[in-house]
Structure 1
Amino acid sequence: MLMLRMARTGITHGKCSVQTMTKAGEALEMSQCREMLSPEQVWEGYDPRAEPLEIELLKQWTESGISFKEMYFTGKAAGSTKTRIYAVYSAPEGGKLLPGILHVHGGGQTANLDILRYWNERGYAALSFNWGGRRPDGQPYTLWGEELAHANQMESAVGDRMMATFPNVRASSWYEWAVAGRRALTLLEAQPEVDPGKLGAFGVSMGGTLLWTLAATDTRIHASCAIYGLGWHTFKEEFRLATGVQPDYSDDDVRIWRAGMEPEVYAPFIRTPMLFVSASNDFYGKMDRAFDILSALPERTPRSAAFTPGFNHYVHSEQAENVAIWMDTWLKGGERWPRMPEVSIRHDAAEGNVELVIRPDPGCTQPVTRVEAYCSLGNPHAVSRHWRPLVPTELGSEWRASLQDAAGYGGTVYAYANVFYASGICLSSKLLTTSQEADRAGIGTGAANEDTDAVEGNDLSGADEFGCSSIRRSGLIYDGRDGLDGWVTNSPNADPFPHRYSPITAAVSEDGVKGFRPAPMLSPLTYRLGDPAYRGRTGEMLRFQLLSRKAADFTVIVQQLHFPSHSRNYECSVSIDGRGEWQIFSLTPESFRHEESGETLTGWADVNYLELRMPEDGWPDEALLFANFEWVRI
């Protein structure tokens, strides 16, 4: 048995024992000993079918040809009590040997009947269960009991045990939630309408994180999809990028957790086909890390990915449709899934051209209906990248998109492509990271590793420090000629289905002005101010236009170095006059005050986020239109 000797705590691999150690000639009895377990050891001996389900039927009903059952079932014994998991199951009436889908909800969510109906309408039986425990809204929930009260995710006490490592990771809330998921699979496979050999599972956000563990440990799952969630919880990449200080990862808890419970350590054990769906700017599952974990899957494990450009914790319907098609392929014998497209940089020194080359799967018979491509300049932080849309052109079996607008930039360029098929599939390429220097030198490209690469300090600083004087700077930020052109909104709904709508749309006023219109209860935002070509300069103010027939007050927000956990918010309250005529807003840096201290913004340096925060009751006019954002001299 390998024993790690520590100065303060005892850690053993696979077995816990009290260690006696010496320090300065004195024997120290180690009263706290923790096991460092591998994934195999964490789940060794666990049988999700061993305990009886002990189903308590709460309600049964039929609607629109779908049969529903609401119930409690036993998860596990904990002390003198048993965990009682809340779940809802549904299936098309009269269904036999149907493929079954397990829904694993996200943080703060619960069992979802709309998601069940979505799958039932597609010919699946489906089960949605609650792992989050006690809820303040009166909805039914899982009864974790006193011994496992830490598994109540929405209560503050859970923080003490969410990632517990004493005596090992089985003491954590994440472990209990994974056990609940495996027991839910046992309930699903036992339903009379279900073919137990055709089970699939998908999880959203925290549920997506759990999916990696479930897919690796439970061979009953034959198709998997993780949405947003992918682990890497112990990597403090925002701290490093915001401060330039490399975090200390030598902490015992961190090493024990990474060894036995983080999703990335489970990836090499996954044999089921795995689809990852997310947004390019998601705060929870960073885009760069997605390709790290997908690359860790066994070579023969099918895998794919799709990213909605620009958004955070929101998946557009074009990418969300992948989930059902993925399940159809692996559980119903549907059409072969195309391989992920390949991307590379082509540099023609003679012609002075730089292009992104996109190669869809040459062995796929499905027609490609369109290809979209995007690039971002210099920002190593996935959450705040501004994605410039490129214009791919089809040339034989590949597509090419010019990168001439970025040709003079000396820093890192990030790029990826989305390939759309007639079947409704949307596939994203890997994230390509390169620089002109590396490309000319023939150095290979790859995905960014946010915790081992050196900090690109200049890539997060002001325009004058970018070292990109040959990048053409534009005072025009947005004029509507290219549709939304980088404008998105805050997340309207993390669940990818069934209720989808356009959170923001390009529109044209009656007098021909192009702009964008947000959904009534959403706030438009853009990361464009972080692009080296669109940064504000000393002596400039931000100007934009707004058309509305109704009056209201809203807040303009800018952030310096947008990090969800380290941002500095500056706010400016403005009023809509509601006269139905174009209204011009001109805002100097001094118009903005820090949300807490009240200090004024001294300049546009490091500002890379702009948000138009909606009024408390939403935007007053459904035909409201924003247009013509630009930098002008004060």
Structure 2
Amino acid sequence: MKITLKLLLTTLIIGCFQLAFAQKKTPQTVEELWKKYNPKSEKLNVEVLKKWEKDNGNFEYIRYDLGKLTGTNKSASPKISAYYGYPKGAKDAPAILHLHGGGQRAELSRVEFWVKLGFACISINWGEKEVESGLLNTDWDGLAAGFIGNSEQLGHWNDVTPGPNTLYSEPHALNSSWNLVAMSGRRALTFLEKRPEVDAKKLGVEGHSMGGKLTVQVSIDPRVKAAAPSVGGSGYLYEDLWGLPGSKRGMREDQEYYKQVVDCQSYWPHIKAPILFLGSTDDFNSPTELVIKGMQQLPVKTERILVLAPHLNHRFTDNTDASRFVWMYSHLEGKLKFPKKTPSTLQLKTKNSIPVFSLKPDQSSGLPVKKVEIYYGYGRDPRVRFFRSAEVKQNGNSYEAECPVFDIDEPLFAFANITYDIGFEIPARPGRNATNFITVSSEYQEAYPEMLKSAKVKATEHRQKKVDDFKNGMQDWYTLFPENRQHWFYSTRKVIDPSFMGPEGGKLKIQVETNEAGNKIAVEIITNQWLSYLGRRTEEYTALVDLPNNGLNTIELSPSDFQTKGGKPLKDWDELTELSFQAGWKAKGKQKADEKWKGDSPALKLIQWEGGDYSKWRRFYPHEKRNNQSIQKVINFENEFQDAIEESVKLEKQDEEQ
């Protein structure tokens, strides 16, 4: 009897073990996926393919083993190439893992910059594009993971759904390239901690765009002591934005499973390392409210801070960009204290029924506060939202500003940017100037229509004829290469703000000052950007305009003066999302100037609407459907997304050329 019971008990235990093991074959959560993964278990087998010295650093081009991967569809032993560098004579140096973005490759210039700052750095070439001609490169060994071989379905594979070159023949977390690349990043951490010049307890990770998402994923590794993702990794991209049905990204199969094992919304809760998220207010890849939502999932004790570059998409200002380097200085070297997140308040119930945003900047770091700026905006879709600069009032260490509302049926968003003097210089880097300051953002505030109505907020804003008189410089614009005589670019989303939308039948008056005569300027308009979910396509219109004077030039333009490359005229001002200026020879339209720009970059002096009937204005917002939307051609989101990536890559190349 005892033998029978013992045998039965043993059988039950074995059966339960087998059942549990069967469940774990297909991990259902991030925790299950990585629980038994050991990035140190297999040898790296590092190959040093090239070595050299430059300035204050030693550099190597290397390759290491990802490790043996075995699935139900394929088995593979990928190898990952990378640039690695460290300061000459370094001992116990902090080290950074850099993860490049979409369409990019390992960045030697990034490694060199970190070395200049006193860090060791490895930049892995997970995208598989060639970096060193004639030398061995990343080899995913037949798995869909990098950026080459798309025609053979060997390129980046977002989904967990199986394909011909995925690891598993059934839906699985490791079918997605994201998790495979995250694994390669964690192996790179193993490389760093084994280096004699590196302090294994001082490892950080940073990445941009797709590299930002990967940074969030890799940061669950307990060896990471500081993280700084930028414009990627928000999570929640497969859920609609507030008040915008259909705005989420699409996925045909296995979407819920994808959210559980790939999407960053399921990674944030497992990050314990201090994390700085570097964003831009109009970013296409990490919409601001989704970043906020993602960071709210962090463990309570995880230090976190958000940095937002106003008006920009996928780019940063000198001071916001510098924040991530100082973040690493603070958390890996301990040379200075980094400011804590500044709490803020958006008071909706006020005497005059106008909301007031207030804050008291954190001063625990001891860094002097140089400037406080407060921004607020209304648009539902953060990718095309215009943030106004509020009139800030200071009372001692406290700052506040009114945030008047145009329409109580629309949400209100507000935040502050605080600029600190760090007392030393962050050197210039590609696309960025040297700076002695960092800018970080306060707690971000959101107020939705029911909240505004409950607080009896009044709509006090109105339509305005004047768009900008530039008395405050370019504060409502973003500028690229403003000092470059040929590649300067000025742009604003102010024309999407309901106060500044053009009137029916009106003209756009522009005054621009040049210091040489005989130029041509390209005035460019984008309509319906990122609004394909409404059945409208993004279109670009250009007006090529003569500037005959050395000095002030005045222009008046009707909608029909703007045309697409195909010659289609702009119908009206209703669907504008962006207004831009650049040299005529760089025009995006059918016509371009024959000659390059003469003289210095121009100065915009006035933009306003002339004439038109404001009384006939209908309540048009970017998210509302137009009567004629059915005749518009719908553009595929993936195409627009890919265009945005390619534009970002192009601008980053221009950064390096400046």
Structure 1 equivalent of residue 185 of structure 2: 181
For 2:306 and 2:149, locate their aligned partners in 1 and report how far apart those are by CA, in whole Å.
Answer: 30
Could you report, residue by residue, the CA deviation over 1:444-485 in whole angstroms, capped at 9, with x for unpaired residues?
x9xxxxxxxxxxxxxxxxxxxxx96x5232211111101113
For 1:318 and 1:112, locate their aligned partners in 2 and report how far apart those are by CA, in whole Å.
Answer: 22
Could you report, residue by residue, the CA deviation over 1:585-611 in whole angstroms, capped at 9, with x for unpaired residues?
222112233455x44332212323212
For 1:117 and 1:437, locate their aligned partners in 2 and report how far apart those are by CA, in whole Å.
Answer: 51
Structure 1 equivalent of residue 447 of structure 2: 434
1:562 aligns with 2:575: no
For 2:116 and 2:307, locate their aligned partners in 1 and report how far apart those are by CA, in whole Å.
Answer: 24
Structure 2 equivalent of residue 496 of structure 1: none
For 2:560 and 2:250, locate their aligned partners in 1 and report how far apart those are by CA, in whole Å.
Answer: 40
Shift of 1:431: 2.4
Identify which range, 314-323 or 293-302, moves more after superposition.
314-323
Shift of 1:410: 5.4
Structure 2 equivalent of residue 571 of structure 1: 541
Aligned amino acid, residue 524 of structure 2: I
1:170 aligns with 2:174: yes
Structure 1 equivalent of residue 496 of structure 2: 530
Structure 1 equivalent of residue 9 of structure 2: none
> Relative to 1, partners in 2 of residues 1:417 and 1:546: Cα closer, same or farther, differing over 3 Å?
same
Report if aligned partners of 2:83, 2:123 keep a CA contact under 8 Å in 1.
yes
Could you report, residue by residue, the CA deviation over 1:243-290 in whole angstroms, capped at 9, with x for unpaired residues?
x44769896411111010111101111111111011111111111111
Report if aligned partners of 1:223, 1:274 keep a CA contact under 8 Å in 2.
yes
Report if aligned partners of 1:205, 1:229 keep a CA contact under 8 Å in 2.
yes
Q: Give the 3-state SS of the residue equivalent to 2:219 in structure 1.
A: helix
Structure 1 equivalent of residue 642 of structure 2: none
Aligned amino acid, residue 95 of structure 1: A
For 1:154 and 1:391, locate their aligned partners in 2 and report how far apart those are by CA, in whole Å.
Answer: 53
Shift of 1:195: 0.9
Q: Give the 3-state SS of the residue equivalent to 1:89 in structure 2.
A: strand
Structure 1 equivalent of residue 469 of structure 2: 479
TM-score calculated relative to the size of structure 2? 0.77
Could you report, residue by residue, the CA deviation over 1:134-170 in whole angstroms, capped at 9, with x for unpaired residues?
3499596743244214433684535673323332020
Q: RMSD of the TM alignment (CA)?
A: 3.2
Segments of 5+ residues of structure 2 without an aligned counterpart are 1-18, 163-169, 423-436, 587-595, 613-658
Report if aligned partners of 2:49, 2:136 keep a CA contact under 8 Å in 1.
no
> Relative to 1, partners in 2 of residues 1:140 and 1:406: Cα closer, same or farther, differing over 3 Å?
farther
Shift of 1:364: 5.0
Identify which range, 576-585 or 411-420, moves more after superposition.
576-585
Shift of 1:439: 4.5
Could you report, residue by residue, the CA deviation over 1:418-447 in whole angstroms, capped at 9, with x for unpaired residues?
12223244221232122586246359x9xx
Shift of 1:535: 0.8
**Aligned pairs (5 A) from 1:116-135:** 116-135=111-130
Structure 1 equivalent of residue 81 of structure 2: 86
1:52 aligns with 2:43: yes
Report if aligned partners of 1:13, 1:35 keep a CA contact under 8 Å in 2.
no
> Relative to 1, partners in 2 of residues 1:365 and 1:94: Cα closer, same or farther, differing over 3 Å?
closer
> Relative to 1, partners in 2 of residues 1:361 and 1:542: Cα closer, same or farther, differing over 3 Å?
same
Q: Give the 3-state SS of the residue equivalent to 1:593 in structure 2.
A: coil
Instruction: Give the share of equivalent positions with the same residue, in percent.
Output: 24
Aligned amino acid, residue 356 of structure 2: E
> Relative to 1, partners in 2 of residues 1:620 and 1:161: Cα closer, same or farther, differing over 3 Å?
same
Aligned amino acid, residue 229 of structure 2: A
For 1:476 and 1:139, locate their aligned partners in 2 and report how far apart those are by CA, in whole Å.
Answer: 58
For 1:615 and 1:306, locate their aligned partners in 2 and report how far apart those are by CA, in whole Å.
Answer: 34
Q: Give the 3-state SS of the residue equivalent to 1:76 in structure 2.
A: coil
TM-score calculated relative to the size of structure 1? 0.79
For 1:160 and 1:202, locate their aligned partners in 2 and report how far apart those are by CA, in whole Å.
Answer: 20
Report if aligned partners of 1:199, 1:220 keep a CA contact under 8 Å in 2.
yes
For 1:309 and 1:114, locate their aligned partners in 2 and report how far apart those are by CA, in whole Å.
Answer: 26
Residue from 501, 507, 530 that aligns with 1:541? 507
Structure 2 equivalent of residue 110 of structure 1: 105
Report if aligned partners of 1:103, 1:126 keep a CA contact under 8 Å in 2.
yes
> Relative to 1, partners in 2 of residues 1:584 and 1:184: Cα closer, same or farther, differing over 3 Å?
same
Q: Give the 3-state SS of the residue equivalent to 1:255 in structure 2.
A: helix
Q: Give the 3-state SS of the residue equivalent to 1:422 in structure 2.
A: strand
Structure 1 equivalent of residue 197 of structure 2: 193
> Relative to 1, partners in 2 of residues 1:234 and 1:481: Cα closer, same or farther, differing over 3 Å?
closer
Shift of 1:416: 0.7
For 1:249 and 1:583, locate their aligned partners in 2 and report how far apart those are by CA, in whole Å.
Answer: 47
Structure 1 equivalent of residue 213 of structure 2: 209
For 1:291 and 1:92, locate their aligned partners in 2 and report how far apart those are by CA, in whole Å.
Answer: 36
Shift of 1:46: 1.9
Structure 1 equivalent of residue 53 of structure 2: 62
1:269 aligns with 2:290: no
Identify which range, 112-121 or 339-348, moves more after superposition.
339-348
Structure 2 equivalent of residue 221 of structure 1: 224
Shift of 1:541: 1.0
Identify which range, 565-574 or 604-613, moves more after superposition.
565-574
Structure 2 equivalent of residue 257 of structure 1: 258
> Relative to 1, partners in 2 of residues 1:233 and 1:137: Cα closer, same or farther, differing over 3 Å?
farther
Aligned amino acid, residue 383 of structure 1: R
Shift of 1:222: 0.8
For 2:219 and 2:354, locate their aligned partners in 1 and report how far apart those are by CA, in whole Å.
Answer: 44
Structure 2 equivalent of residue 279 of structure 1: 280
Shift of 1:522: 4.3
For 1:434 and 1:117, locate their aligned partners in 2 and report how far apart those are by CA, in whole Å.
Answer: 44
1:590 aligns with 2:556: no
> Relative to 1, partners in 2 of residues 1:326 and 1:152: Cα closer, same or farther, differing over 3 Å?
same
Report if aligned partners of 1:86, 1:140 keep a CA contact under 8 Å in 2.
no
For 1:248 and 1:308, locate their aligned partners in 2 and report how far apart those are by CA, in whole Å.
Answer: 24
Shift of 1:293: 0.9
Identify which range, 54-63 or 548-557, moves more after superposition.
548-557
Structure 1 equivalent of residue 62 of structure 2: 71
Could you report, residue by residue, the CA deviation over 1:303-341 in whole angstroms, capped at 9, with x for unpaired residues?
111111111111111111211221122211233333211
Segments of 5+ residues of structure 1 without an aligned counterpart are 1-11, 18-33, 446-466, 493-502, 505-516
For 2:85 and 2:47, locate their aligned partners in 1 and report how far apart those are by CA, in whole Å.
Answer: 16
Aligned amino acid, residue 258 of structure 2: W
> Relative to 1, partners in 2 of residues 1:247 and 1:390: Cα closer, same or farther, differing over 3 Å?
closer
Q: Give the 3-state SS of the residue equivalent to 2:260 in structure 1.
A: helix
**Aligned pairs (5 A) from 1:68-467:** 68-77=59-68, 82-135=77-130, 142-152=137-147, 155=150, 157-158=153-154, 161-166=157-162, 167=170, 168-216=172-220, 218-232=221-235, 234-235=237-238, 237=240, 241=244, 244-245=245-246, 252-346=253-347, 349-350=350-351, 354-361=355-362, 363-377=364-378, 379-403=379-403, 405-406=404-405, 411-423=410-422, 424-434=437-447, 438-439=451-452, 441-442=454-455
**Aligned pairs (5 A) from 1:1-16:** 15=22
* Structure with greater strand share of residues: 1
Shift of 1:580: 2.4
Aligned length: 554
> Relative to 1, partners in 2 of residues 1:627 and 1:284: Cα closer, same or farther, differing over 3 Å?
same
Identify which range, 114-123 or 609-618, moves more after superposition.
609-618
Structure 2 equivalent of residue 458 of structure 1: none
Shift of 1:613: 4.8
Report if aligned partners of 1:57, 1:72 keep a CA contact under 8 Å in 2.
yes
For 1:353 and 1:380, locate their aligned partners in 2 and report how far apart those are by CA, in whole Å.
Answer: 20
> Relative to 1, partners in 2 of residues 1:310 and 1:158: Cα closer, same or farther, differing over 3 Å?
farther
Could you report, residue by residue, the CA deviation over 1:532-582 in whole angstroms, capped at 9, with x for unpaired residues?
111101110112133442656554332333217564314133143555243
> Relative to 1, partners in 2 of residues 1:206 and 1:142: Cα closer, same or farther, differing over 3 Å?
farther
For 1:250 and 1:283, locate their aligned partners in 2 and report how far apart those are by CA, in whole Å.
Answer: 18
> Relative to 1, partners in 2 of residues 1:488 and 1:141: Cα closer, same or farther, differing over 3 Å?
farther
Residue from 567, 570, 577 that aligns with 1:601? 570
Aligned amino acid, residue 520 of structure 1: Q
